[in-house]
Amino acid sequence: MTKRLYIETVGCQMNVLDSELVVGSLRRHGYELTHEVTEADVILFNTCSVRQHAEEKIYSALGRLRSHKQRHPSKIVGVLGCMAQKDQELVRKRAPHVDIVCGTGQLSRLPELIAEVERTGLPQLALSLDRAEASRPEVEQSFESYDPLRDPSMRPSPFQAYVRIMIGCDKFCTYCIVPSVRGPEQSRHPEHIAAEVRQLADEGCKEITLLGQTVNSYKYDSGDGRRLRLSELLGRIHDTTGIERIKFITNFPKDMTDDLLDAVRELPKVCPYLHVPAQSGCNDVLKRMKRLYTAEYYRDMLARCRENVPGVAVSSDFIVGFCGETEESFQRSCDLVREAGFKNSFIFKYSPRPGTKADDLYPDDVAEEVKKRRNNDLLAIQNAVSLQDHRARIGQIVEVLVEGPSKAALKRDSGSGLVQLTGRTMTDHIVVFEGNERLVGQTVEVMVQEATAFTLFGTVVTEKRVGFLPDGHRSSDRDGQPGKKTDRVALPVI
Ligand code: SAM
Ligand code: SF4
């Protein structure tokens, strides 16, 4: 009989990709995916440990499962990923009904671990080495890159996929748990990446997002003294037939080199969109965070991005309420957000992480209410900036890769046969418009007519699809063509 698998994922894109790969691998071992936890034979939680809140969510979900597991002891419960690597045996102390604890670097062993629980009934722990416990090569080996065959059904959409180009992180920002739970930075072989991109394109994928904690630090030493960087990797995969868009996240400000910016400008399929977290606008805070740059350096880097890649959209992350952040240092972050023109920013309240340098060295001395207030204030400033950026796009024609019905469309039916669709531009702006559902997966041109801080609203211009010709050139221009320059009419596509 087919066995059923339930998987819940929290955290970043890396976790979404890991879950896709886990499902792909377990399907090949006869498992079928279910969205009902009570129907599943194997229940997995792929976890995040970047902030405490993400961990609490998982421990509560595990708590809710306890009586279900008592009633059905043969069901297998597994905790995977970052929290598994961080908490190790503590997971079973807090939730003794967990059968499997499996870290990010050991996911390939999951089928074997499940079989072992079935055979012995005993709990199984699969963890990578602590970075301080062994030599770098040994630790690297214990964090293997997990990139088996893919499972299209687990992707954000069938025509969009993540591709891991590196694992781990060597930056050791003082607040961050990632270098311990995802291990040393290791870049994947460019040929393996290129082969995966070809395979995804053959399966109908049009947009790929290259993933790395500091994706622009990608470097592969070929052994003959040559070092391949992200700019060259982009060049290698650019002409893959079928691929129309290439994005890459997340960038580290110090590694934003000119050769990379030149590649973004010169390669038409590479999206002019850069996610480059600043974290703070205050030099004292940046120093305590060990971000390795100053606010002035960040501003210069931003100017270089805008100069080298005209029309580039930049987004950022900020942490508010980090240890020792005074009202004045917080104001420096506000200044940066006011000036930088970010498309959007993700703003987080500092969450102390046991095992990080900041947790050892500095007291968590900003009160929770202050963190909350700073979070809201910074968000309000960013929203005003985003609204301005969005309003400036009214009247432009943008290329939108249609992702599916909007959230609102899922709730209501306009009765016109058209649905409200949503998609993204090359600059990662979200666009909502009416159209036929058959446009999902297509790239269409939309005239922007209205804007909020989060969304552009528009009308499809023509039925003409935008794409790439076999020679790698675009069949249409890039985003942001002013509407008046064309003779196209705005018609809803049916
Ligand atoms: N590697 C990416 C980088 O350096 O920008 C981001 C990795 S982290 C998973 C994503 C974001 O979470 C970070 O940019 C940071 O803003 C936030 N973050 C990390 N540790 C945090 C902590 N202890 N408390 C609050 N936010 C945190
Ligand atoms: Fe964490 Fe810093 Fe590495 Fe990003 S660069 S994953 S914030 S240690």
C-alpha 72 to ligand 2 mean position (Å): 40
For a pocket test of ligand 2, which of 131, 166, 171 has the largest count of ligand atoms closer than 8 A to its C-beta? 171
For ligand 1, the distance from its centroid to the CA atom of residue 54, given in whole angstroms, is: 13
Distance 277 CA to ligand 1 centre (A): 9
Residue 123 C-beta-side C-alpha neighbours within 13 Å:
17
Which is the closest atom of ligand 1 to the Cα of 318?
A: 16
Q: Which residues line ligand 2 (CB under 6 A)?
A: 169, 171-173, 176, 178-179, 213-214, 252
> How much is the pLDDT for 476?
55
Q: Which residue has the least CA distance to atom 12 on ligand 1?
A: 50
Contact 162, 16 (CB under 8 A): yes
Whether the Cβ atoms of residue 479 and residue 426 lie closer than 8 Å to each other: yes
C-alpha dist (Å) from residue 39 to 24, 35, 69: 19, 8, 12
The DSSP symbol for 154 reads: G
Task: Report mean pLDDT in 10-residue bins for the chain, 494 residues.
Answer: 92 92 91 94 96 95 95 96 95 96 95 96 94 88 77 79 94 96 94 93 94 96 90 97 97 97 98 98 98 98 98 98 98 98 97 96 97 98 97 96 85 69 96 93 95 96 64 56 38 38
Residue nearest to atom 20 of ligand 1 (CA): 176
Q: Whose CA is nearest to atom 5 of ligand 2?
A: 171
Give the pLDDT score at 269.
Answer: 97
Q: How far is CA 16 from the centre of its chain?
A: 8
| Beta pairing, strands 166-167 & 186-187 | antiparallel
The rounded Å distance from CA 346 to ligand 1 centre is 10
Ligand 1 pocket list (CB less than 6 A): 12, 50-51, 175-176, 178, 213-214, 250, 252, 277, 279, 317, 319, 348, 350-351, 353
Q: Are strands 245-249 and 481-482 parallel, antiparallel or unpaired?
A: unpaired
173 alpha carbon – ligand 2 mean position (Å)? 6
| pLDDT for residue 407 | 80
What pLDDT score does 239 carry? 95
Alpha helices in 239-367 (DSSP H): 258-266, 283-289, 295-308, 327-340, 357-361
β-sheet bridge partners, residue 163: 210
Cα of 176 from ligand 1 centre, angstroms? 6
Q: Which atom of ligand 2 is nearest to the CA of 279?
A: 7
State the CB neighbour count (10 A cutoff) for residue 156: 15
Of 48, 82, 337, 348, best ligand 1 pocket probe by most atoms within 8 Å of the beta carbon? 348
Residue-level pLDDT at 469:
62
CB under 8 Å, gap of 24 or more: what pairs does 122-125 form? 123/92, 123/98, 123/99, 124/99, 124/100, 125/88, 125/89, 125/100, 125/101
* 340 CA distance to ligand 1 middle (Å): 19
- Secondary-structure breakdown of the chain: helix, strand, coil percentages, each rounded to the nearest 5: 40, 25, 35
pTM for this model (two decimals): 0.92
- Contact in structure between 333 and 320 (CB atoms under 8 Å): yes
